[in-house]
Every structure is written in C-alpha cells, then in structure tokens.
Amino acid sequence: QVQLVESGGALVQPGGSLRLSCAASGNIVSIYAMGWYRQAPEKQRELVARITSGGDTNYVDSVKGRFTISRAKAKNTVYLQMNNLKPEDAAVYHCNTRSRHGADNWGQGTQVTVSS
C-alpha cells in the first residue's frame, strides 16, 4: 500500500495563492501517476490535475493557466501550486496515486477555502 499525507490547505481571499503538498510513503515503486482531486459540498469529486511517472501532466479545463502540478526528483512528493484562486475552487483536496496495476490510494484531504 501507499500512504499519502497532504498539507497546505487554508482560507484565502479570491485571487490569492496556495501550494498543496503530498508526501507518499510505502510501496512507492509501484506508483504510475499522482494527482489531486477535489470535492466541494454536495458536488461530485473531480480530477483537478495529474502527473505521470514520465512527467506528463493533465488539468481540468477550469484550472488551466492557474494551477501547476509538479513533483520532486525522488517522485515521492507532489505539489499543486494554485494561483488566482476563485470561490469555485473551494473544496476538500485529496491526493491520489495510481499504481501500474490500476490500484488507487487516497490521502486524508486538506481543506481549501476561498472567501472574501
């Protein structure tokens, strides 16, 4: 199994920035991709950004140009830089890993609140 620990969530004003971190431990050699999902109250969970072991990235359309996903050289830590935050970005953000065999692991989540 892979254990994930997230940090960085906070309350910020619209237009502000946050950087989320996700540290992976355990069977990290099996990780194919790491990403960030978010779930707002009474809304579906959605994939925000993902980075593969080869460095390819994907973003949901609503965050393109504002969010950037990256990873450390050791590939056991992934970051999500969030700029120009909007109220609709408010959600619980969960780190996710996917193994080469398609198995998912989830972090506990970190709260991002965007409010004036």
**Tens of pLDDT, residues 10-66:** 999 999 999 999 999 998 888 999 999 999 999 999 999 999 999 999 999 999 999
Region 86-109: mean pLDDT is 96
Count of CB atoms situated within 10 Å of the CB of 114 = 20
- For the chain, report the end-to-end CA distance as a whole number of angstroms: 40
Q: What is the pLDDT of residue 88?
A: 96
The chain-wide mean pLDDT, for the chain, equals 95
Q: Nearest 5°: CA angle at 56, between 54 and 94?
A: 100
Q: What is the pLDDT of residue 28?
A: 87
Q: What is the pLDDT of residue 20?
A: 98
| Size of the chain in residues | 116
Of 13-17, 73-77, 89-93, the range with the lowest mean pLDDT is: 73-77
Region 107-115: mean pLDDT is 97
Percent of the chain residues past pLDDT 70, beyond the cut: 99
Percent of the chain residues past pLDDT 90, beyond the cut: 89
C-alpha–C-alpha distance, residues 116 and 113, integer Å: 10
